Structure 1
Amino acid sequence: MTKEQERAIAQFLAQYAPKDEFLAILLAGSLAHGYAKPSSDVDIVLVATEREFERRVTERKLTFSLWDVCEYEGGYIDCKVVSLATLAQVRDKGSDPARYAFKDARILHSTVPDLAGLLAAVTRYPVQDQAARRHRFLCQLLAWKWYLSQGLEKANPYLITLAVQKLVLFACRVVLNENERLYPFHKWLLEETRRAPRQPEGFMAMLDALMAEPTMAAAQALSDEVFAFAGQVEKETDWPNQFMRDSELNWLMHEAPVDDL
């Protein structure tokens, strides 16, 4: 963290810590995760009272940016507003990206008893789902390997690009799952995976090779390594039925993802 970023945080705290509608202020984002550059913005999470949170939900003001606090070029404060009830929901049923948003978060100001304990629970990996996740991620890997074969066969550049992205995503998700590490969403996926202490030998190089030159040989080599790493057998994995449940019929169990609306 640079001195300019530290001054920006201090100025923000001077303005927002005295506000009664905010119970706590957290430093999040790249500065908290250790990915920041001198030009990085400052990510702040404001824990609001329930009344303030509901007001902001109604007015659609759960996120805002401040451009007049940072003294360095391109710098700004990026703010997101949550409540204690929101944090409890993330703890109980949050997605990995929702949990990861609070990973490494630094408490800058708080009037909440044991907020650190709540954040620890929020960012705990859901180990109770580890075996099920392993199966589901491996099924996605095999499904998108098949889609890559279709893209190559039909010379469909869109399908090839999408299949490669999904292959990388779910290969990484298997590795993260085996290491009990949260999926951070796409921006930090490769960095978080690179940090995983246990992974197939040459794994990151295999991902780079597949992205640079999508071939079935590269996809199969990646699949073989990931399955061996996870201790599973490809030919014993019923991926079509699991893929149908997770990617084609998911709208039967909950709202379809926005990609599929």
Structure 2
Amino acid sequence: MEQHERALAAYVDSVRGEPGALGVVLVGSVAQGRERPGSDVDVYLVVDDERFATETGRGRFAWVERRDADYPGSYIDVKLASPSYLTAAIERADDPTRASFLGARVAWSELADLGATVARIATLPDDAWDGRIRSHVAQARLYGAYFLRQATERGDGFLRRHAGVHLALSAARAALAANRILLPGPKYISELMRAASTPAGFLAAWELVLDDPDTASGAELLRVLDAWLGDGLLPDDALSTFIRDNELHWLRGGVPAEYW
């Protein structure tokens, strides 16, 4: 909308020429064409690596600028990035970071390849998606067939709910990966699951685990998930994959699979 483009242009003018400033990347609802009249404008301010180190060294990763300056309720929601940050994001960013660049548009840049760089962040190759499916199915099996069963046997209400939520999360992540859908964050899971293509009975079984996690509901969700995406993942493979991507992912300098 016109007011958002005007606000974006004003912000670009305000940072162009700042020490270390290299570009502004428009992201979020305005970039994707789904903004409302009162939506804020989300941007990445790209700066050189020296300024990025200085800003983040004092804890400044994101901030708000131009509050109420351009239209009622307006503000620019700024996140900081640098060339090294963007290069690292291509290789190992989590889903919320990758998803934040979906539909991104370069508003101003001193870097000739900035548009191509941000497009690569939001794109994963097929083998990466396939690896995610395998990992998330393994997560689902352990939470659904092991931890959920233990919770029931022990009468442990916390573990039952914990295992149920993680089973549902893992199954959802596997389903979204099969659909090549990035996950911006937990608040979007239900919406994305209802829009994704899944086999008959999958969504109903998934919702039942959320409502009433127990051995029966967990087994049914695993049955549908395994029939769809579990081919070739043997029990020992699932256990090793779970340990590698959950308990020991720190050895590879990363985070557990649920945070990918």
TM, length-normalised to structure 2: 0.81
Relative to 1, partners in 2 of residues 1:34 and 1:166: Cα closer, same or farther, differing over 3 Å? farther
Q: Which residues of 2 match residues 108-187 of structure 1 at below 5 A? A: 108-145=107-144, 146-187=146-187
Q: One-letter code of the match for 1:19? A: E
Contact 1:184 1:192 in 2 (8 A): no
Q: Does the C-alpha gap of structure 1 residues 131 and 14 become closer, same or farther in structure 2, counting only changes over 3 Å?
A: closer
Offset, 1:80:
0.7
Q: Please tell me whether the aligned partners of residues 125 and 182 of structure 1 are also in contact (alpha carbons under 8 angstroms).
A: no
CA distance, structure 2, for counterparts of residue 166 and residue 39 of structure 1: 35
Where does structure 1 lack aligned partners over 5 or more consecutive residues?
none
- State the Cα deviation string for residues 153-209 of structure 1 (Å, max 9, x = none): 33333222222221121111111222233233323233344443x322354343333
**Structure 1 residue 233: Cα displacement:** 6.2
Counterpart for residue 57 of structure 2: 58
Cα distance, 1:77 vs structure 2: 2.6
**Any idea what the Cα deviations from partners look like across 1:10-62, whole Å, max 9, x if unmatched?**
44234234535322212223444566555544321111122321221222212
Q: For 1:232 and 1:29, how far apart are their aligned partners in 2? A: 36
Deviation at 1:255, TM superposition (A): 6.7
Q: How large is the Cα RMSD of the aligned pairs?
A: 2.9
Q: In structure 1, give the amino acid aligned to 2:141.
A: L
User: What is the total number of aligned residue pairs between the two structures?
Assistant: 254
Could you say which residue in structure 2 is the equivalent of 1:243? Answer: 242
- Aligned residue number for residue 227 of structure 1: 226
Residues 254, 16 of structure 1: alpha-carbon distance in 2 compared, 3 angstrom cutoff:
closer
Shift of 1:106: 2.1
- Which segments of 5 or more consecutive residues in structure 2 lack a partner in the other structure? none
Aligned partner letter, 2:207: D
2:20 alignment counterpart: 21
2:69 alignment partner in structure 1: 69
Percent pairwise identity: 29
Shift of 1:140: 0.5
TM-score by length of 1: 0.81
**Larger deviation: 203-212 or 222-231?**
203-212
